[in-house]
Structure 1
Amino acid sequence: MKLRLAGIAYPSNLRLLIISLVIVLTGLFAHPALADNGLTFLTVNDGQSEQEYSVKLQILLLMTALSFLPAFILMATSFTRIIVVLAILRQALGLQQSPPNRVLIGIALSLSILIMRPVWSDIYEHAFKPYDQGEITLMQAFATAEKPVRHFMLAQTQRNSLEQMLRIANEPVDSNVDDISFAIVLPAFVISELKTAFQIGFMLFIPFLIIDLVVASVLMAMGMMMLSPLIVSLPFKLVVFVLVDGWAMTVGTLSASFSTG
């Protein structure tokens, strides 16, 4: 497939970059009169016919697709479990704003990209490349790209969560997994991710809770009841967490918790 921008043909491997630039430049510099006159910035050629889209329609379609991207990253990947566990870990340590939310989101996002790399590679090899070369249509590419994502989600989804979503959708509980709609698999996957994240967070909370109890008991025995145990236990929890290489253990546990099914 070739991309024509303002009548000029560009190599297919520059298509994503050019489309992004078109969005930015069109939004910043394009005059409304250009769209009113029917000027076309994007032309898609599938080898048999050439289809043109007006600037207004291009912006509408692209911005609509981009608006669903954050929700997809949050709900259909490993991001939910990771960010919830990291937030619980920060609470267990007794830290309110350290690490900051942006740091936790960055860690969760980068780790999600690493964990989901086999899925992205499968989508690129079997969906994007054939579509980019004009071998399959856009709908066929979407259907092919859905399979690895669906396989990953079902591997993490618990059966009781899936059955609950089937009952909500008035579908047979004993339905074949391959016949279940993606709209049912998605909420079941999110619910299962939250449950698993809370289970991991509970296990992380136990050692820090023991430290808090020990410090509180010692302070009570010394008669220092006016001193907050959190102030004294925080340095001990940080030392223990650093000595056992807590971040590496947490990241390793999270990565190992994602089964491939």
Structure 2
Amino acid sequence: MIKDRNITEITQFILLGFSDFPQITALLFVMFLILYITTLTWNLSLVVLIRMDSCLHTPMYFFLSNLSFIDICYITSTVPKMLSNLFQEKQTISFVGCIVQYFMFSTMGLSESCLMTAMAYDRYAAICNPLLYSSIMSPSLCARMVIGSYTGGLIGSVSQVLLAILTILFGFSNALAIMISYGYIVVSIMKITSAKGRSKAFNTCASHLTAVSLFYTSSVFVYLSSSSGGSSSFDRFASVFYTMMIPMLNPLVYSLRNKDIKDAIKRLQRKMRCC
């Protein structure tokens, strides 16, 4: 005879969100909505611009367009749910919804880490082997590297369910590969005799190096602050910066001082006036 037992089935989780600040809920909603729309607009515009302008059909901008696509998916995996919960009295997420959200967020984050490693290799090839750059960074290799980035992110996300420490090892291995690439790049730049040539070589890497620094610095900061057992409210605002600000800043970092992007925008404007 089998005795009846009480079994508690978890069907949803309660989200703390920003319930500690009910007086500024409307302000938070407007601010996060503006950040979300701005991020979508900038990244989508960059994808469309690179797609439409044939002068930007190079490995560097192929990787950049995929980075923008990842950032769109990355921020969309969390922000819409957060916005919808701000005005709900009971902020919850279903068990399945939580798994899907975490899976998408983790996959896109790890894919971005892998893609930045691929972009570091692209800059290494451009600076250290300029004469062989076209043959090294062939379209097929670029496609395989992008597919590998998505695959790596997917495998890493699935593996996290079995071993959470894999995220740290995954991120560290990518960061190490990027540092090695830039070690070779710095050595190659120092061998350039003219100051103008060194400046030009450095400028080709500055945007990517800035984006990498923002990505990894914010990741480490959020991880350390949450591990130290600090203020939960502070951790939540820090997580917002990590999940919303980085995807918004990436297209700016790559566009503000990028002559190719500026020229492409001017060409697009001329085409629109002609039409």
Q: TM-score range by the shorter chain?
A: under 0.3
- Which of structures 1 and 2 has the bigger CA Rg? 1
TM-score by length of 2: 0.25
Structure with larger RCO (C-alpha < 8 A, sep 6+): 2
TM-score by length of 1: 0.26
Structure with the larger helix share: 2
